[in-house]
Amino acid sequence: MSAPTLLEVADRLGELSRELDKVTGEAEQLDRKAVNARHAYEIAYSKAFLGSTGPVDARKHHAVIDTDIEKLEAEIADQVLRACRARISTIKVQIETGRSLSAALRAEVALAGAGYAP
Instruction: Flag whether 117 is in a domain.
Output: no
Is residue 73 within 8 Å of 40, Cβ to Cβ? yes
User: Number of structural domains, the chain?
Assistant: 1
Instruction: Flag whether 97 is in a domain.
Output: yes
**Segments forming the whole domain that contains residue 83:** 6-111
Instruction: Flag whether 1 is in a domain.
Output: no
Instruction: Flag whether 118 is in a domain.
Output: no
Q: Say what the pTM is.
A: 0.76
Instruction: Flag whether 86 is in a domain.
Output: yes
Q: What string of pLDDT tens digits covers the 118 residues of the chain?
A: 677 888 888 999 999 999 999 999 999 999 999 999 999 999 999 999 999 999 999 999 999 999 999 999 999 999 999 999 999 999 999 999 999 999 988 888 887 776 665 5
Instruction: Flag whether 15 is in a domain.
Output: yes
- Burial class of residue 30 in the structure, from the number of CB atoms within 10 Å of its CB (0-12 exposed, 13-18 middle, 19+ buried): buried
